Amino acid sequence: MEMRQVNNHKVYRANRNRVFQYILRHDLTTRSEIAHALNLSMPTIINIVKSLMDDGLVYEAGAAQSNGGRKAVTLSCNTRARVSVGMDITLHHISVVFVDIKGAVILKEKTVRPFERSGEYYAFLARLIDRCMLSHDIDPALILGVGISVPGRLSGDSRTLLYSHVLNESNMLCSELESCIPFPCRFCNDANAAALAELWNNHSIGTAVYLSVSDSVGGAVIINDVLYTGENQLAGEFGHMTLVEDGKPCYCGKRGCADAYCAASSLSALAEGKLDAFFSLLRQNHAPATQAWQAYLANLSILINNLRMAFDCPVILGGYIGEYIEPYIDALREMAGRRNTFFADASYIRAATFQHEPSAVGAALLFIEPFIAQI
């Protein structure tokens, strides 16, 4: 191909992608609206839309409202053109979600199954995916891949789970799962996956720290809307910052880590392991629950203020606690504000906007983003 042809082809591909993304974001648009918004000629738009329709990515949805004259035909994105699967693996549970190319959750399921590194466990995962596909009539040919959220440290290429304290496992290969699951698989750290879901939900985060507080404490650092993972894929391991010298034992083997004070399990332990039951006791002004909550908030506010001092950016509170924090966020802000050397205003603390199964959804998005980028 000549250089000019190569350049023309590149421009065509770039414009095709812009048109697709425009239709993805603006449901029920028209050819002329796209031409106007993207500053492209009508013949170009007609040509690109035809090729997107030929590929099953876009369809004509009907006639647009008009003030007389010929009605324009509206265009919509075929959000089910591809599907991605996300799984969140914890020590005792597996959550599975299927998302469409808009990142919308088509289905979700949570199952109790203790983790084990075995062919039997991987086959269980494969059957779980199979069952979900059957129950929702999803064609396996449309599945882009399976993103797997795990609580641990990954290799740079995300193909190996180097170490997980929580799962008590090391050097687990993605290919072990692929030998049972008939789709491409990819690991993602659980807190990073949750931050990806938050980013997807809110494209204008910019720079923020995501603090994930569930049965363990983790986090992620988002700089200019991109995850910063660090030299050793360990950026955001806020749970193992020391909060109290020689304090309570942490599951990692050290003492005094933030995790030992801020993990949600320290609250649910007071209500037979159920966090919902703990918050219900708190709402009823149950004295031991109230006392535990005040002590918990004090520790959480220290951790959050430390993050604010390190990063000077918003701190987004996610994980299980993020789902419950809204009625108490002012109290938390006040505590963090009192600790801050420079400003008493702690409105930089925000509750996560994406609250249900963020790690599983974020893992599924690992396959959606590159798919959209190559259209």
Instruction: Give the number of residues in contact with Zn ion, rule: CB under 5 A.
Output: 5
Alpha-helical runs (H) found in the chain: 3-25, 31-38, 42-54, 119-135, 174-178, 190-201, 258-262, 265-268, 275-283, 287-311, 319-324, 329-339, 358-373
Of 84 and 216, nearer to Zn ion (C-beta) is 216
Of 180 and 244, nearer to Zn ion (C-beta) is 244
Of 68 and 253, nearer to Zn ion (C-beta) is 253
> From the CB of 152, what's the least distance to Zn ion, in Å?
13
Cα distances (angstroms) measured from residue 148 to each of 128, 235, 237, 334, 363: 13, 19, 19, 37, 6
> From the CB of 21, what's the least distance to Zn ion, in Å?
42
Of 186 and 240, nearer to Zn ion (C-beta) is 240
Does the CA dihedral 171-172-173-176 come out positive or negative? positive
Cα distances (angstroms) measured from residue 11 to each of 6, 8, 130, 365, 372: 9, 5, 40, 26, 17
> Buried b / exposed e across 298-313, counting CB within 10 Å, b at 16+?
ebbbbbbbbbbeebeb
Structure tokens at 11: 């421009």
> From the CB of 287, what's the least distance to Zn ion, in Å?
30
For position 257 contacting Zn ion by CB under 5 A, the verdict is: yes
For position 262 contacting Zn ion by CB under 5 A, the verdict is: no
> From the CB of 139, what's the least distance to Zn ion, in Å?
44
Of 102 and 254, nearer to Zn ion (C-beta) is 254
For position 250 contacting Zn ion by CB under 5 A, the verdict is: yes
* CB 154 within 8 Å of CB 187: yes
Site for Zn ion in 217-246 (CB under 5 A): 240
Of 250 and 321, nearer to Zn ion (C-beta) is 250
> From the CB of 158, what's the least distance to Zn ion, in Å?
23
DSSP result, 48-89:
HHHHHHHTTSEEEEEEPP-SSSSPPEEEEE-TTSSEEEEEEE
For position 269 contacting Zn ion by CB under 5 A, the verdict is: no
For position 252 contacting Zn ion by CB under 5 A, the verdict is: yes
For position 165 contacting Zn ion by CB under 5 A, the verdict is: no
> From the CB of 167, what's the least distance to Zn ion, in Å?
15
The order of strands in the sheet holding 58-63 is 29-30, 73-77, 58-63
Of 238 and 293, nearer to Zn ion (C-beta) is 238
Site for Zn ion in 70-99 (CB under 5 A): none
Residue 125 CA, distance from chain mean position? 20
List residues bridging with 89 in a β-sheet: 94
Q: Select from 149-157, 247-255, 329-337, 351-359 the region that touches Zn ion (CB under 5 A).
A: 247-255
Of 252 and 375, nearer to Zn ion (C-beta) is 252
> From the CB of 239, what's the least distance to Zn ion, in Å?
6
Q: Which residues bind Zn ion (CB under 5 A)?
A: 240, 250, 252, 254, 257
